[in-house]
A and B are shown apart, each in its own frame.
Chain A
Protein backbone atom coordinates (compact mmCIF):
# COMPACT_ATOMS: atom_id res chain seq x y z
CA UNK A 1 0.00 0.00 0.00
CA UNK A 2 2.68 2.44 1.03
CA UNK A 3 4.93 1.33 -1.80
CA UNK A 4 2.14 1.98 -4.29
CA UNK A 5 1.72 5.50 -2.88
CA UNK A 6 5.43 6.25 -3.22
CA UNK A 7 5.55 4.93 -6.78
CA UNK A 8 2.49 6.96 -7.81
CA UNK A 9 3.76 10.16 -6.23
CA UNK A 10 7.17 9.96 -7.84
CA UNK A 11 5.60 9.14 -11.17
CA UNK A 12 3.47 12.27 -10.98
CA UNK A 13 6.35 14.46 -9.86
CA UNK A 14 8.77 13.19 -12.47
CA UNK A 15 6.27 13.49 -15.29
CA UNK A 16 5.95 17.26 -14.88
CA UNK A 17 7.44 19.11 -17.80
CA UNK A 18 9.02 22.49 -17.05
CA UNK A 19 6.33 25.17 -17.33
CA UNK A 20 8.51 27.79 -18.95
CA UNK A 21 10.27 26.64 -22.03
CA UNK A 22 12.87 28.83 -23.61
CA UNK A 23 10.27 30.19 -26.04
CA UNK A 24 7.46 31.01 -23.56
CA UNK A 25 8.07 34.26 -21.68
CA UNK A 26 6.04 36.22 -19.17
CA UNK A 27 6.26 39.63 -17.56
CA UNK A 28 4.22 41.67 -15.13
CA UNK A 29 3.46 45.31 -15.84
CA UNK A 30 2.08 47.41 -13.00
CA UNK A 31 1.35 50.99 -12.03
CA UNK A 32 -0.22 54.08 -13.50
CA UNK A 33 -3.93 53.96 -14.21
CA UNK A 34 -3.32 56.63 -16.86
CA UNK A 35 -0.97 54.36 -18.80
CA UNK A 36 -3.15 51.33 -18.09
CA UNK A 37 -5.39 51.51 -21.20
CA UNK A 38 -2.32 51.83 -23.43
CA UNK A 39 -0.47 48.99 -21.71
CA UNK A 40 -3.51 46.71 -21.81
CA UNK A 41 -4.24 47.35 -25.49
CA UNK A 42 -0.57 46.91 -26.41
CA UNK A 43 -0.29 43.73 -24.34
CA UNK A 44 -3.34 42.23 -26.01
CA UNK A 45 -1.97 43.11 -29.45
CA UNK A 46 1.42 41.59 -28.59
CA UNK A 47 -0.03 38.39 -27.11
CA UNK A 48 -2.20 37.90 -30.19
CA UNK A 49 0.92 38.03 -32.35
CA UNK A 50 3.02 36.02 -29.91
CA UNK A 51 0.73 33.45 -28.25
CA UNK A 52 3.52 31.94 -26.14
CA UNK A 53 4.23 35.25 -24.37
CA UNK A 54 2.21 36.38 -21.39
CA UNK A 55 1.97 39.99 -20.28
CA UNK A 56 -0.04 40.73 -17.15
CA UNK A 57 -1.05 44.37 -16.71
CA UNK A 58 -2.28 45.87 -13.43
CA UNK A 59 -3.17 49.33 -12.17
CA UNK A 60 -2.70 50.74 -8.69
CA UNK A 61 -1.07 54.05 -9.47
CA UNK A 62 2.39 55.14 -10.57
CA UNK A 63 3.68 55.05 -7.00
CA UNK A 64 2.50 51.49 -6.52
CA UNK A 65 4.14 50.34 -9.76
CA UNK A 66 7.45 51.97 -8.95
CA UNK A 67 7.47 50.56 -5.43
CA UNK A 68 6.76 47.10 -6.85
CA UNK A 69 9.56 47.52 -9.39
CA UNK A 70 11.99 48.42 -6.62
CA UNK A 71 10.80 45.43 -4.58
CA UNK A 72 11.20 43.18 -7.60
CA UNK A 73 7.56 42.12 -7.80
CA UNK A 74 7.03 43.45 -11.31
CA UNK A 75 9.11 43.78 -14.47
CA UNK A 76 7.86 47.08 -15.86
CA UNK A 77 6.36 49.97 -13.94
CA UNK A 78 3.91 52.17 -15.80
CA UNK A 79 4.29 55.75 -14.66
CA UNK A 80 2.68 59.08 -15.45
CA UNK A 81 5.28 61.00 -13.49
CA UNK A 82 9.02 61.44 -13.62
CA UNK A 83 11.31 59.47 -11.33
CA UNK A 84 12.37 60.99 -8.04
CA UNK A 85 16.08 61.24 -7.19
CA UNK A 86 15.95 58.32 -4.72
CA UNK A 87 14.27 56.20 -7.36
CA UNK A 88 16.87 57.02 -10.00
CA UNK A 89 19.61 56.14 -7.52
CA UNK A 90 18.09 52.66 -7.19
CA UNK A 91 18.92 52.09 -10.83
CA UNK A 92 15.50 52.77 -12.31
CA UNK A 93 15.43 53.89 -15.93
CA UNK A 94 12.41 55.53 -17.55
CA UNK A 95 11.39 55.11 -21.19
CA UNK A 96 9.00 57.62 -22.77
CA UNK A 97 6.06 55.91 -24.43
CA UNK A 98 3.47 58.64 -25.05
CA UNK A 99 2.39 62.19 -24.39
CA UNK A 100 -0.54 63.03 -22.17
CA UNK A 101 -2.47 66.05 -21.03
CA UNK A 102 -3.87 66.30 -17.52
CA UNK A 103 -7.30 67.76 -18.13
CA UNK A 104 -9.25 69.70 -15.52
CA UNK A 105 -12.76 68.29 -15.73
CA UNK A 106 -16.17 69.38 -14.52
CA UNK A 107 -19.71 68.08 -14.89
CA UNK A 108 -21.02 68.58 -18.39
CA UNK A 109 -23.87 70.76 -17.12
CA UNK A 110 -21.43 73.26 -15.59
CA UNK A 111 -21.62 76.53 -17.58
CA UNK A 112 -17.99 77.34 -16.75
CA UNK A 113 -15.91 76.49 -19.79
CA UNK A 114 -12.49 77.81 -18.96
CA UNK A 115 -10.28 78.84 -16.08
CA UNK A 116 -6.81 80.27 -15.68
CA UNK A 117 -4.14 78.09 -14.13
CA UNK A 118 -4.12 80.47 -11.19
CA UNK A 119 -7.86 80.02 -10.64
CA UNK A 120 -7.49 76.25 -10.77
CA UNK A 121 -4.72 76.42 -8.19
CA UNK A 122 -6.80 78.59 -5.86
CA UNK A 123 -9.81 76.30 -6.21
CA UNK A 124 -7.76 73.25 -5.34
CA UNK A 125 -6.11 75.08 -2.46
CA UNK A 126 -9.55 75.74 -1.05
CA UNK A 127 -9.38 79.52 -1.44
CA UNK A 128 -12.14 79.74 -4.04
CA UNK A 129 -15.10 77.77 -2.71
CA UNK A 130 -18.11 78.71 -4.82
CA UNK A 131 -18.65 78.36 -8.56
CA UNK A 132 -20.09 81.88 -8.64
CA UNK A 133 -16.60 83.24 -7.90
CA UNK A 134 -15.43 82.04 -11.31
CA UNK A 135 -18.48 82.85 -13.38
CA UNK A 136 -20.59 79.83 -12.61
CA UNK A 137 -23.80 79.15 -10.67
CA UNK A 138 -24.17 79.62 -6.93
CA UNK A 139 -23.01 76.16 -5.94
CA UNK A 140 -20.37 75.00 -3.50
CA UNK A 141 -17.31 73.68 -5.33
CA UNK A 142 -16.51 70.06 -4.48
CA UNK A 143 -12.86 69.31 -5.16
CA UNK A 144 -11.87 65.79 -6.19
CA UNK A 145 -8.26 64.69 -6.13
CA UNK A 146 -6.31 61.45 -6.38
CA UNK A 147 -4.61 59.41 -3.70
CA UNK A 148 -0.87 59.98 -3.26
CA UNK A 149 -0.19 56.72 -5.15
CA UNK A 150 -1.13 58.52 -8.36
CA UNK A 151 1.32 59.87 -10.93
CA UNK A 152 -1.46 62.07 -12.25
CA UNK A 153 -1.69 63.54 -8.77
CA UNK A 154 2.05 64.21 -8.71
CA UNK A 155 1.92 65.87 -12.14
CA UNK A 156 -1.02 68.01 -11.06
CA UNK A 157 0.77 68.95 -7.86
CA UNK A 158 3.92 70.07 -9.63
CA UNK A 159 2.47 71.69 -12.76
CA UNK A 160 -0.68 73.26 -11.36
CA UNK A 161 -0.24 73.59 -7.60
CA UNK A 162 3.43 74.61 -7.86
CA UNK A 163 3.96 72.26 -4.90
CA UNK A 164 1.41 74.07 -2.73
CA UNK A 165 -0.90 71.81 -0.75
CA UNK A 166 -4.26 70.71 -2.09
CA UNK A 167 -7.04 71.33 0.44
CA UNK A 168 -7.60 68.54 2.95
CA UNK A 169 -11.31 68.81 2.18
CA UNK A 170 -10.77 67.31 -1.27
CA UNK A 171 -12.44 63.95 -1.83
CA UNK A 172 -9.93 61.28 -2.81
CA UNK A 173 -10.36 58.88 -5.70
CA UNK A 174 -8.12 55.92 -6.44
CA UNK A 175 -8.00 55.90 -10.22
CA UNK A 176 -8.71 57.92 -13.34
CA UNK A 177 -11.80 55.80 -13.90
CA UNK A 178 -13.21 56.54 -10.46
CA UNK A 179 -12.51 60.23 -10.96
CA UNK A 180 -14.55 60.32 -14.16
CA UNK A 181 -17.38 58.44 -12.46
CA UNK A 182 -17.41 60.83 -9.54
CA UNK A 183 -17.41 64.03 -11.61
CA UNK A 184 -20.05 62.72 -14.02
CA UNK A 185 -22.33 62.22 -11.01
CA UNK A 186 -21.79 65.56 -9.28
CA UNK A 187 -22.65 68.93 -10.89
CA UNK A 188 -20.63 70.69 -8.17
CA UNK A 189 -17.46 68.79 -8.84
CA UNK A 190 -14.05 69.60 -10.27
CA UNK A 191 -11.22 67.15 -10.76
CA UNK A 192 -8.46 66.06 -13.13
CA UNK A 193 -7.87 63.11 -15.48
CA UNK A 194 -5.54 61.97 -18.24
CA UNK A 195 -6.77 62.98 -21.70
CA UNK A 196 -7.15 59.34 -22.70
CA UNK A 197 -10.11 59.02 -20.35
CA UNK A 198 -12.07 61.82 -22.01
CA UNK A 199 -12.79 59.97 -25.22
CA UNK A 200 -15.02 57.32 -23.63
CA UNK A 201 -16.23 59.48 -20.76
CA UNK A 202 -19.82 60.64 -20.65
CA UNK A 203 -21.04 63.39 -18.43
CA UNK A 204 -17.78 65.28 -18.02
CA UNK A 205 -16.08 67.97 -20.01
CA UNK A 206 -12.55 69.34 -19.99
CA UNK A 207 -11.98 73.01 -19.25
CA UNK A 208 -9.84 75.32 -21.34
CA UNK A 209 -6.84 76.32 -19.28
CA UNK A 210 -5.39 79.77 -19.94
CA UNK A 211 -7.56 79.77 -23.04
CA UNK A 212 -6.12 76.53 -24.45
CA UNK A 213 -8.20 73.40 -25.05
CA UNK A 214 -6.40 70.11 -24.37
CA UNK A 215 -5.99 68.35 -27.72
CA UNK A 216 -3.22 66.25 -29.27
CA UNK A 217 -2.05 69.36 -31.18
CA UNK A 218 -1.85 71.67 -28.17
CA UNK A 219 -0.04 68.96 -26.24
CA UNK A 220 2.48 68.44 -29.02
CA UNK A 221 3.19 72.12 -29.54
CA UNK A 222 3.35 72.75 -25.81
CA UNK A 223 0.65 75.41 -25.63
CA UNK A 224 -1.49 73.34 -23.23
CA UNK A 225 0.13 74.05 -19.86
CA UNK A 226 -0.49 70.70 -18.15
CA UNK A 227 1.23 68.25 -20.51
CA UNK A 228 3.54 65.44 -19.64
CA UNK A 229 5.23 62.31 -20.89
CA UNK A 230 4.03 58.83 -19.97
CA UNK A 231 6.67 56.28 -19.11
CA UNK A 232 7.42 52.60 -18.78
CA UNK A 233 10.13 52.15 -16.20
CA UNK A 234 12.57 49.28 -15.75
CA UNK A 235 15.21 48.40 -13.20
CA UNK A 236 18.38 48.66 -15.19
CA UNK A 237 18.29 48.25 -18.95
CA UNK A 238 15.34 46.12 -20.09
CA UNK A 239 15.93 42.61 -21.44
CA UNK A 240 13.92 39.87 -23.08
CA UNK A 241 10.17 40.30 -23.25
CA UNK A 242 10.30 43.57 -21.26
CA UNK A 243 12.63 45.07 -23.86
CA UNK A 244 10.54 43.73 -26.75
CA UNK A 245 7.34 45.05 -25.24
CA UNK A 246 8.67 48.56 -24.61
CA UNK A 247 10.19 48.68 -28.10
CA UNK A 248 6.80 47.61 -29.45
CA UNK A 249 4.94 50.38 -27.63
CA UNK A 250 7.43 52.93 -28.98
CA UNK A 251 7.18 51.55 -32.52
CA UNK A 252 4.78 53.03 -35.14
CA UNK A 253 2.36 50.18 -34.50
CA UNK A 254 2.46 50.79 -30.75
CA UNK A 255 2.06 54.53 -31.19
CA UNK A 256 -1.04 53.86 -33.24
CA UNK A 257 -2.43 52.03 -30.21
CA UNK A 258 -1.48 55.05 -28.07
CA UNK A 259 -3.59 57.30 -30.29
CA UNK A 260 -6.47 54.83 -30.43
CA UNK A 261 -6.61 55.01 -26.63
CA UNK A 262 -7.00 58.78 -26.80
CA UNK A 263 -3.45 59.79 -25.94
CA UNK A 264 -0.80 61.59 -27.99
CA UNK A 265 2.01 59.86 -29.84
CA UNK A 266 5.64 60.62 -29.09
CA UNK A 267 7.10 63.59 -31.03
Chain B
Protein backbone atom coordinates (compact mmCIF):
# COMPACT_ATOMS: atom_id res chain seq x y z
CA UNK B 1 0.00 0.00 0.00
CA UNK B 2 2.78 2.41 0.96
CA UNK B 3 4.64 1.24 -2.14
CA UNK B 4 1.66 2.19 -4.28
CA UNK B 5 1.39 5.67 -2.79
CA UNK B 6 5.13 6.22 -3.19
CA UNK B 7 5.00 5.22 -6.88
CA UNK B 8 2.01 7.44 -7.53
CA UNK B 9 3.68 10.42 -5.89
CA UNK B 10 7.06 9.92 -7.55
CA UNK B 11 5.22 9.62 -10.86
CA UNK B 12 3.64 12.99 -10.30
CA UNK B 13 6.89 14.57 -9.14
CA UNK B 14 8.72 13.23 -12.18
CA UNK B 15 6.20 14.38 -14.74
CA UNK B 16 5.18 17.74 -13.33
CA UNK B 17 8.45 19.65 -14.00
CA UNK B 18 8.74 18.74 -17.69
CA UNK B 19 5.09 19.62 -18.24
CA UNK B 20 5.36 22.94 -16.48
CA UNK B 21 8.55 23.82 -18.35
CA UNK B 22 6.63 24.29 -21.57
CA UNK B 23 4.00 26.41 -19.87
CA UNK B 24 6.68 28.48 -18.19
CA UNK B 25 8.51 28.89 -21.50
CA UNK B 26 5.45 30.35 -23.19
CA UNK B 27 4.85 32.54 -20.17
CA UNK B 28 8.39 33.91 -20.14
CA UNK B 29 8.40 34.53 -23.89
CA UNK B 30 5.13 36.39 -23.45
CA UNK B 31 6.61 38.55 -20.68
CA UNK B 32 9.79 39.18 -22.66
CA UNK B 33 8.06 40.21 -25.89
CA UNK B 34 5.63 42.48 -24.09
CA UNK B 35 8.31 44.04 -21.91
CA UNK B 36 10.48 44.87 -24.91
CA UNK B 37 7.61 46.02 -27.10
CA UNK B 38 5.35 48.06 -24.83
CA UNK B 39 7.94 50.84 -24.25
CA UNK B 40 7.31 51.78 -27.88
CA UNK B 41 4.03 53.39 -26.87
CA UNK B 42 5.80 55.74 -24.49
CA UNK B 43 7.96 56.91 -27.43
CA UNK B 44 5.34 57.14 -30.15
CA UNK B 45 1.58 57.20 -29.91
CA UNK B 46 -0.35 53.93 -30.50
CA UNK B 47 -2.20 55.69 -33.31
CA UNK B 48 1.10 56.31 -35.07
CA UNK B 49 1.85 52.63 -34.89
CA UNK B 50 -1.46 50.96 -35.61
CA UNK B 51 -2.88 53.37 -38.17
CA UNK B 52 0.18 54.80 -39.86
CA UNK B 53 0.82 53.52 -43.37
CA UNK B 54 4.54 54.29 -43.64
CA UNK B 55 7.18 51.90 -42.35
CA UNK B 56 10.52 53.69 -42.57
CA UNK B 57 12.37 52.80 -39.38
CA UNK B 58 15.76 54.22 -40.35
CA UNK B 59 14.74 57.50 -41.94
CA UNK B 60 15.09 60.88 -40.30
CA UNK B 61 12.55 61.23 -38.83
CA UNK B 62 11.66 57.52 -38.56
CA UNK B 63 8.15 56.21 -39.11
CA UNK B 64 6.78 52.99 -37.59
CA UNK B 65 3.44 52.44 -39.26
CA UNK B 66 2.29 48.82 -39.12
CA UNK B 67 -0.53 49.09 -41.69
CA UNK B 68 1.36 47.94 -44.82
CA UNK B 69 3.03 45.12 -42.87
CA UNK B 70 -0.22 43.86 -41.33
CA UNK B 71 -2.00 44.01 -44.66
CA UNK B 72 0.92 42.21 -46.26
CA UNK B 73 0.69 39.37 -43.75
CA UNK B 74 -3.10 39.31 -44.15
CA UNK B 75 -3.05 39.21 -47.95
CA UNK B 76 -0.45 36.46 -48.22
CA UNK B 77 -2.23 34.37 -45.57
CA UNK B 78 -5.62 34.84 -47.23
CA UNK B 79 -4.28 33.76 -50.60
CA UNK B 80 -2.69 30.72 -49.01
CA UNK B 81 -6.01 29.72 -47.42
CA UNK B 82 -7.89 30.33 -50.66
CA UNK B 83 -5.71 27.73 -52.32
CA UNK B 84 -5.14 25.21 -49.57
CA UNK B 85 -8.59 25.01 -47.94
CA UNK B 86 -10.43 23.64 -50.98
CA UNK B 87 -7.50 21.37 -51.80
CA UNK B 88 -7.11 20.22 -48.22
CA UNK B 89 -10.78 19.63 -47.64
CA UNK B 90 -11.34 17.72 -50.85
CA UNK B 91 -8.18 15.73 -50.21
CA UNK B 92 -9.35 14.92 -46.71
CA UNK B 93 -12.73 13.73 -47.99
CA UNK B 94 -11.01 11.57 -50.56
CA UNK B 95 -8.69 9.98 -48.01
CA UNK B 96 -11.32 9.46 -45.36
CA UNK B 97 -14.25 8.32 -47.45
CA UNK B 98 -13.30 7.23 -50.93
CA UNK B 99 -9.76 5.99 -51.23
CA UNK B 100 -8.98 2.32 -50.77
CA UNK B 101 -6.65 1.52 -47.86
CA UNK B 102 -3.51 1.13 -49.97
CA UNK B 103 -3.82 4.50 -51.69
CA UNK B 104 -4.80 6.00 -48.36
CA UNK B 105 -1.49 4.91 -46.84
CA UNK B 106 0.51 6.29 -49.74
CA UNK B 107 -1.16 9.68 -49.68
CA UNK B 108 -0.86 9.98 -45.93
CA UNK B 109 2.83 9.14 -46.12
CA UNK B 110 3.44 11.70 -48.84
CA UNK B 111 1.62 14.37 -46.90
CA UNK B 112 3.75 13.58 -43.84
CA UNK B 113 6.90 14.02 -45.90
CA UNK B 114 5.61 17.30 -47.27
CA UNK B 115 5.02 18.62 -43.78
CA UNK B 116 8.57 17.79 -42.77
CA UNK B 117 10.33 19.89 -45.41
CA UNK B 118 12.09 22.89 -43.84
CA UNK B 119 10.56 26.26 -44.70
CA UNK B 120 13.79 27.64 -46.09
CA UNK B 121 13.72 24.90 -48.73
CA UNK B 122 10.23 26.00 -49.71
CA UNK B 123 11.53 29.55 -49.88
CA UNK B 124 14.41 28.53 -52.08
CA UNK B 125 12.09 26.62 -54.39
CA UNK B 126 9.79 29.62 -54.49
CA UNK B 127 12.63 31.99 -55.32
CA UNK B 128 14.24 29.93 -58.07
CA UNK B 129 11.15 28.35 -59.64
CA UNK B 130 7.96 30.20 -58.74
CA UNK B 131 9.17 33.80 -58.94
CA UNK B 132 10.38 33.61 -62.58
CA UNK B 133 7.31 31.50 -63.44
CA UNK B 134 4.86 34.02 -62.00
CA UNK B 135 6.72 36.87 -63.69
CA UNK B 136 6.54 35.17 -67.07
CA UNK B 137 3.01 33.78 -66.80
CA UNK B 138 1.36 37.03 -65.83
CA UNK B 139 3.73 39.37 -67.65
CA UNK B 140 4.64 41.21 -64.47
CA UNK B 141 7.61 43.52 -63.89
CA UNK B 142 8.62 41.19 -61.07
CA UNK B 143 7.54 37.79 -59.86
CA UNK B 144 8.09 38.70 -56.21
CA UNK B 145 4.46 39.22 -55.26
CA UNK B 146 1.86 38.46 -52.64
CA UNK B 147 0.51 35.76 -54.97
CA UNK B 148 3.85 33.96 -55.08
CA UNK B 149 4.01 34.10 -51.30
CA UNK B 150 0.47 32.78 -51.11
CA UNK B 151 1.29 29.83 -53.35
CA UNK B 152 4.38 28.87 -51.36
CA UNK B 153 2.49 29.18 -48.07
CA UNK B 154 -0.43 27.13 -49.37
CA UNK B 155 1.90 24.20 -50.06
CA UNK B 156 3.30 24.56 -46.56
CA UNK B 157 -0.02 24.57 -44.71
CA UNK B 158 -1.73 21.97 -46.91
CA UNK B 159 -0.52 19.03 -44.77
CA UNK B 160 -1.88 20.68 -41.62
CA UNK B 161 -5.32 21.35 -43.05
CA UNK B 162 -5.52 18.03 -44.84
CA UNK B 163 -4.52 15.76 -41.98
CA UNK B 164 -6.56 17.53 -39.32
CA UNK B 165 -9.63 17.64 -41.54
CA UNK B 166 -9.16 13.97 -42.37
CA UNK B 167 -9.07 13.16 -38.68
CA UNK B 168 -12.23 15.16 -38.09
CA UNK B 169 -14.04 13.43 -40.91
CA UNK B 170 -12.86 9.98 -39.85
CA UNK B 171 -14.11 10.52 -36.32
CA UNK B 172 -17.69 11.14 -37.40
CA UNK B 173 -19.58 8.18 -35.87
CA UNK B 174 -20.17 5.52 -38.48
CA UNK B 175 -23.82 5.33 -37.32
CA UNK B 176 -24.50 8.71 -38.92
CA UNK B 177 -23.29 7.44 -42.28
CA UNK B 178 -25.16 4.16 -41.91
CA UNK B 179 -28.39 5.96 -41.04
CA UNK B 180 -28.08 8.30 -44.01
CA UNK B 181 -27.37 5.48 -46.44
CA UNK B 182 -30.18 3.44 -44.91
CA UNK B 183 -32.77 6.06 -45.74
CA UNK B 184 -31.64 6.05 -49.36
CA UNK B 185 -29.12 8.88 -49.68
CA UNK B 186 -26.25 8.35 -52.09
CA UNK B 187 -22.66 8.22 -50.84
CA UNK B 188 -21.86 11.68 -52.10
CA UNK B 189 -25.10 13.09 -50.65
CA UNK B 190 -24.16 11.52 -47.35
CA UNK B 191 -20.74 13.10 -47.39
CA UNK B 192 -22.14 16.49 -48.34
CA UNK B 193 -25.11 16.68 -46.01
CA UNK B 194 -24.21 14.48 -43.06
CA UNK B 195 -20.51 13.79 -42.66
CA UNK B 196 -19.08 17.22 -43.41
CA UNK B 197 -21.52 19.15 -41.24
CA UNK B 198 -20.85 16.70 -38.42
CA UNK B 199 -17.11 17.25 -38.80
CA UNK B 200 -17.53 21.01 -39.24
CA UNK B 201 -15.98 22.10 -35.97
CA UNK B 202 -12.92 19.90 -36.47
CA UNK B 203 -12.49 21.14 -40.02
CA UNK B 204 -12.81 24.74 -38.91
CA UNK B 205 -10.18 24.11 -36.26
CA UNK B 206 -7.88 22.67 -38.93
CA UNK B 207 -8.34 25.78 -41.07
CA UNK B 208 -7.68 28.09 -38.14
CA UNK B 209 -4.47 26.26 -37.26
CA UNK B 210 -3.36 26.42 -40.88
CA UNK B 211 -4.13 30.13 -40.83
CA UNK B 212 -2.03 30.54 -37.70
CA UNK B 213 0.90 28.77 -39.26
CA UNK B 214 0.68 30.83 -42.44
CA UNK B 215 0.43 34.09 -40.53
CA UNK B 216 3.58 33.31 -38.58
CA UNK B 217 5.71 31.95 -41.41
CA UNK B 218 8.88 33.96 -41.93
CA UNK B 219 11.67 32.68 -44.12
CA UNK B 220 9.65 31.25 -46.99
CA UNK B 221 7.65 34.45 -47.51
CA UNK B 222 10.74 36.57 -47.00
CA UNK B 223 12.36 35.04 -50.03
CA UNK B 224 9.51 35.48 -52.48
CA UNK B 225 7.33 38.45 -51.60
CA UNK B 226 9.74 41.28 -52.41
CA UNK B 227 9.80 42.96 -49.04
CA UNK B 228 8.39 46.31 -50.17
CA UNK B 229 6.44 47.94 -47.30
CA UNK B 230 3.54 49.17 -49.42
CA UNK B 231 -0.19 48.74 -49.08
CA UNK B 232 -0.96 46.03 -51.67
CA UNK B 233 -3.32 47.10 -54.45
CA UNK B 234 -3.58 43.68 -56.08
CA UNK B 235 -2.40 40.12 -55.60
CA UNK B 236 0.45 40.93 -57.97
CA UNK B 237 1.80 43.60 -55.68
CA UNK B 238 5.05 43.02 -53.77
CA UNK B 239 4.37 43.00 -50.03
CA UNK B 240 6.25 42.91 -46.74
CA UNK B 241 4.98 40.78 -43.89
CA UNK B 242 5.39 41.50 -40.18
CA UNK B 243 7.41 38.34 -39.65
CA UNK B 244 9.86 39.15 -42.42
CA UNK B 245 10.30 42.66 -41.07
CA UNK B 246 11.38 41.34 -37.69
CA UNK B 247 13.76 38.82 -39.24
CA UNK B 248 15.34 41.32 -41.62
CA UNK B 249 15.73 44.27 -39.28
CA UNK B 250 16.34 42.81 -35.81
CA UNK B 251 20.05 42.30 -36.45
CA UNK B 252 20.92 45.96 -36.46
CA UNK B 253 18.31 47.47 -34.20
CA UNK B 254 20.28 48.77 -31.25
CA UNK B 255 19.08 47.27 -27.96
CA UNK B 256 16.54 49.60 -26.36
CA UNK B 257 16.09 51.87 -29.37
CA UNK B 258 12.69 52.83 -30.74
CA UNK B 259 13.28 50.63 -33.78
CA UNK B 260 14.02 47.71 -31.43
CA UNK B 261 10.82 48.38 -29.47
CA UNK B 262 8.83 48.67 -32.70
CA UNK B 263 10.04 45.26 -33.88
CA UNK B 264 9.00 43.72 -30.58
CA UNK B 265 5.67 45.51 -30.89
CA UNK B 266 5.26 43.63 -34.18
CA UNK B 267 6.01 40.53 -32.14
CA UNK B 268 3.23 41.46 -29.71
CA UNK B 269 0.77 41.71 -32.59
CA UNK B 270 1.87 38.32 -33.96
CA UNK B 271 1.75 36.72 -30.52
CA UNK B 272 -1.76 38.08 -29.88
CA UNK B 273 -3.12 36.97 -33.24
CA UNK B 274 -1.66 33.51 -32.73
CA UNK B 275 -3.06 33.29 -29.21
CA UNK B 276 -6.57 34.20 -30.34
CA UNK B 277 -6.43 31.73 -33.23
CA UNK B 278 -5.21 28.90 -31.04
CA UNK B 279 -7.85 29.51 -28.36
CA UNK B 280 -10.52 29.50 -31.06
CA UNK B 281 -9.21 26.25 -32.50
CA UNK B 282 -9.06 24.51 -29.12
CA UNK B 283 -12.62 25.53 -28.29
CA UNK B 284 -13.84 24.22 -31.60
CA UNK B 285 -12.03 20.92 -31.28
CA UNK B 286 -13.63 20.42 -27.91
CA UNK B 287 -16.96 21.34 -29.52
CA UNK B 288 -17.70 23.89 -26.87
CA UNK B 289 -20.20 26.61 -27.55
CA UNK B 290 -18.49 29.89 -28.53
Known interface pairs A63-B252, A172-B240. Does A148 touch B229 (Cβ–Cβ under 8 Å)?
no
B251 lies within 8 A of chain A by Cβ:
yes
- The closest CB in chain A to the CB of B254 belongs to A67
A60 adjacent to chain B (CB < 8 Å)? yes
Q: Is the CB of B141 within 8 A of A140?
A: yes
The bracket for how many chain B residues form the interface is: 20 to 34
9-residue interface stretch from B56-64, B161-169, B264-272 = B56-64
> Which residues in B have their C-beta under 8 angstroms from that of A171?
142, 144, 226-228, 238
Closest B-chain residue to A63, C-beta based? B252
A110-B20 Cα distance, complex, nearest whole Å: 61
Q: Give 13 A-B contacts (CB < 8 Å), ordered by A residue.
A: A60-B251, A64-B252, A67-B251, A139-B141, A141-B141, A148-B252, A149-B248, A165-B59, A170-B228, A171-B142, A171-B238, A172-B248, A185-B132
Answer whether residue B178 sits at the interface, using C-beta atoms and an 8 A cutoff.
no
Q: How far is the CA of A169 from the CA of B252 in the complex (A)?
A: 22
Interface pair A188/B229, CB less than 8 Å apart: no
Which single residue of chain A is at the shortest CB-CB distance from B144? A171
Measured between alpha carbons, how far is A154 from B58 in the docked complex, in Å?
Answer: 10
Q: Within 8 Å of chain A (Cβ to Cβ): is B105?
A: no
B197 to chain A, nearest CB (A): 45
Q: Is the CB of A142 within 8 A of B142?
A: yes
> Which residues of B, 48-75, contact A by the 8 Å Cβ criterion?
54-60, 68
Judge whether A66 and B228 touch: CB under 8 Å.
no
**Complex interface residues of chain B between 15 and 71 (CB less than 8 A to chain A):** 54-60, 68
Q: Are A67 and B253 in contact (CB under 8 A)?
A: yes
Chain B residues near A147 (CB, 8 Å)? 227, 248-249
Q: Mark A135-152, 1 if CB is under 8 A from B, else 0.
A: 000011110000111000
List the A side residues contacting B56 at CB < 8 Å.
Answer: 165, 168
B228 pairs with A63, CB closer than 8 A: no
Which chain B positions have C-beta within 8 A of A66?
A: 252
Task: Please report the C-alpha to C-alpha distance between residue A12 and residue B249 in the assembled complex, in whole angstroms.
Answer: 44
Question: What are the residues of chain B within 8 A of A163 when measuring CB–CB?
Answer: 60
B135 CB-CB contact with A under 8 Å: yes
**Are B132 and A168 in contact, CB atoms less than 8 angstroms apart?**
no
Q: Which chain B positions have C-beta within 8 A of A186?
A: 135, 141-142
A contact residues around B253 at 8 Å (CB): 67
Given A168-B54, A171-B227, A188-B141, A149 and B132 contact (CB-CB distance below 8 Å): no
B230 touches A (CB below 8 Å)? yes
Mark interface residues in A23-64 (1 if CB within 8 Å of B CB, else 0): 000000000000000000000000000000000000011011
